[in-house]
Structure 1
Amino acid sequence: MKKTLTVLGVIILVVILIVGVGQWMTRNDEDKPGPTTTGASPTPGTDVDQPDSCPAYEVISAPGTWESKADDDPVHPTANPNSLLLGVTNPLQEAYGGDATADGANGGVKVWTLPYAAQFRNINALGEMSYDDSRNQGYDRVVEEMSATYAGCPGTQFILTGFSQGAVLTGDLATEIGNGNGPVPAANVAGVALIADGRREDGKGTLVGSPDVKGIGAEIALSSVNLLVQPIVPGASMRGPRPTNFGELQDRVNQFCDPADLVCSAPRDIGNAVARANDLIAANGIHAQYSTNGNVVPDATVPQWIVNWAKDIINN
């Protein structure tokens, strides 16, 4: 039992190390021939009274831990120049008008990056905002942005993407929207792309590529030992699985997870954790490599896949 608890403690520490390692990421903005759209998406309605100033689409990007700041510019984010999702938003801004404007007029596409604390209090950084508070702040700000856009532009379609902590809050919001409890109708969401979602589990959304993913999201895997987690990461609740699937958005949510990434593919049981502990520790850098790792999806990196997927939606 003592050995098991020790290994669990080590795994939790690994989670701390890898949840936010995106600050060291490099990105690759080169587009490659990529995927066709996964999952059907609705066409913007023609019977909606949509002002000419409204974008046809709004891309909302939720960066991962340490890749944003609460006061960052959502149109021209500079908090972390190596943020993974800049590999998605920069090419889309360049493709649809180049320099986005604050009111959303960007050749029919508005690109908005979530400004939030993006922090993760832990035993090595007790002065940071807790994971729960940071995630909730991000969630609320995305809701505010979508609500404001929908109020003035009810025909605008949303494309949502998030990485790590940003994927968790975006996945939570997609669950609410898909089940009729969100800030916009499900019909207004054209697609969702989640990279390294800490609440990922089989059967919720479509896992793109990576057929060898055997684990589950860290929040699910560690939920049974939440009391053990708290002294190490105070204020980081391991909430377990989302209560439902994505509802009406089920076939519009794409999940991306490297099989060795402990954030989205943690061991399902304690026995398996003991057996895999050394392998997991050795592989913890994988979480930082979605912008360069060409093994998750065919013939591209994950950001390249998402760029091409979003272009398919917008152009069609």
Structure 2
Amino acid sequence: MRKALTVVAVVLVLLLIGGSAIQWLRTAENSPLGAAPGQDTERTPGDEPLPQEPDWCPAVEVISAPGTWESSATDDPFNPQANPLSFMLSITQPLQAAYDINDVRVWTLPYTAQFQSVQSRGEMTYDDSRNEGTAKVNGELAHIANTCHSTEFILAGFSQGAVILGDVANEIGTGHGAVPADRVRGVALIADGRRENGVGQNPGVELGGIGAEIALQPIDALVQFITPGASMRGPREGGFGALDGVVQEICAPSDAICDAPQDIGNGLGRAQELLAANGVHAQYASNGQVIPGTTANQWVVDWAHGLINQG
């Protein structure tokens, strides 16, 4: 009986991970997308001077990563149209309105953004979708870093996009990324499925849970049986390394994606709690209980303004 209850719990959590984003209702120059990660831009004495930057090089590039079903592989990274209700548009559109693209380039990750589950067998698997997204982000980072030697970066992502950018921040912060850590001004991860308490900074209320990918890792074999291609990878080895002080982990209390109970796979009671909390994941633009006095998207917009205007 206990095994059966565990299966029910896992199925419900997987549906949460792959399905919550579709409930979202928000209130409110060219690059080689598949390029390989770039080389370190530091130079040793005696090297030839760096080539002059193109006129279009911005001071800052903001890289935005939407969540599941909020993007497509063919979307326009400067004018995303795949999902007009994408949560990340409530952050990127105000930034695009505030700055000229030659000063602040806002680039939205175009990736498949799918999650194959018991309800969507024809979609790309979670592993393949996030691997595609990670490769494209690293390609964009490398392209801009190698072309525009003074450009610095701000990263912001939601849900599956937060997992992708959290993984990219982990690579950069531990010295294995597409750009050096000192070229990243800040990272905002909203509803990160690999969130850990004490890793990165929490600008919101105190949380007791952990990311669903960490909570489910001990029963990953069962997850794979139910939903092949959705690996629960646990915590990020090395955390955010040198970037720990500039990574903001934003999570709503009881959002089962980022604030899951640590014994998530142990029974029907936990499954019922997670199902009841399903709607929380879709309310970051209106939920005033995440960061007191504001909403998550407005906080990120203000935070980004501050990083951009610091010079």
Confirm or deny a common fold (TM above 0.5).
yes
Cα distance in 2, alignment partners of residues 10 and 64 from structure 1: 25
Question: Alpha carbons of 1:155 and 1:273: their partners in 2 closer, same or farther (altered >3 Å)?
Answer: farther
Question: Alpha carbons of 1:181 and 1:170: their partners in 2 closer, same or farther (altered >3 Å)?
Answer: same
Could you tell me whether the CA contact under 8 Å between 1:23 and 1:83 is conserved in 2? no
Shift of 1:125: 1.0
Normalized against structure 2, the TM-score is what?
A: 0.88
State whether structure 2 residue 196 is matched by structure 1 residue 201: yes
Q: Any stretches of 5+ residues in structure 1 without a counterpart?
A: 30-46, 98-105
Shift of 1:271: 8.1
Range 260-269 or range 270-279, more displaced: 270-279
Cα distance in 1, alignment partners of residues 92 and 264 from structure 2: 39
Cα distance in 1, alignment partners of residues 150 and 289 from structure 2: 37
What number of residue pairs does the alignment pair up?
288
State whether structure 2 residue 8 is matched by structure 1 residue 13: no
Aligned residue runs from structure 1 range 81-100, under 5 A: 81-97=84-100
1:76 equivalent in structure 2: 79
Could you tell me whether the CA contact under 8 Å between 2:13 and 2:271 is conserved in 1? no
State the secondary structure of the residue aligned to 1:194. Answer: strand
Aligned residue runs from structure 1 range 15-34, under 5 A: 15-19=13-17, 20-29=19-28
Counterpart AA for 2:256: L
Shift of 1:298: 1.8
Alignment deviations for residues 40-90 of structure 1 (CA, whole Å, 9 cap, x no partner): xxxxxxx98644421000000011111111111111101111101001000
State whether structure 2 residue 108 is matched by structure 1 residue 125: no
Shift of 1:7: 3.2
Moved over 6 A (4+): none
Q: Any stretches of 5+ residues in structure 2 without a counterpart?
A: 29-48
Shift of 1:124: 1.5
Counterpart AA for 1:56: A
Shift of 1:275: 4.7
Alignment deviations for residues 89-148 of structure 1 (CA, whole Å, 9 cap, x no partner): 000001113xxxxxxxx1400000000010111111111110000000000000000100
Shift of 1:307: 0.3
Cα distance in 2, alignment partners of residues 235 and 185 from structure 1: 31
1:235 equivalent in structure 2: 229
State the secondary structure of the residue aligned to 2:145. Answer: helix
Shift of 1:16: 2.8
Shift of 1:299: 1.6
Question: Alpha carbons of 1:275 and 1:125: their partners in 2 closer, same or farther (altered >3 Å)?
Answer: closer
1:43 equivalent in structure 2: none
Could you tell me whether the CA contact under 8 Å between 1:260 and 1:283 is conserved in 2? yes
Shift of 1:272: 6.8
Range 283-292 or range 166-175, more displaced: 283-292
State whether structure 2 residue 259 is matched by structure 1 residue 265: yes
Range 47-56 or range 232-241, more displaced: 47-56
Question: Alpha carbons of 1:130 and 1:272: their partners in 2 closer, same or farther (altered >3 Å)?
Answer: closer
Shift of 1:281: 1.6
Question: Alpha carbons of 1:262 and 1:96: their partners in 2 closer, same or farther (altered >3 Å)?
Answer: same
Could you tell me whether the CA contact under 8 Å between 1:69 and 1:79 is conserved in 2? yes
Shift of 1:9: 2.3
State the secondary structure of the residue aligned to 2:165. Answer: helix
Could you tell me whether the CA contact under 8 Å between 2:73 and 2:110 is conserved in 1? yes
2:59 equivalent in structure 1: 56
State the secondary structure of the residue aligned to 2:301. Answer: helix
Cα distance in 1, alignment partners of residues 133 and 69 from structure 2: 13
State whether structure 2 residue 311 is matched by structure 1 residue 313: no
Shift of 1:273: 5.5
| Identity across the alignment (%) | 54
Counterpart AA for 1:7: L
Could you tell me whether the CA contact under 8 Å between 1:132 and 1:237 is conserved in 2? yes
State the secondary structure of the residue aligned to 1:110. Answer: strand
- Give the RMSD, CA atoms, in angstroms: 1.8
Normalized against structure 1, the TM-score is what?
A: 0.87
Counterpart AA for 1:96: Y
State whether structure 2 residue 72 is matched by structure 1 residue 111: no
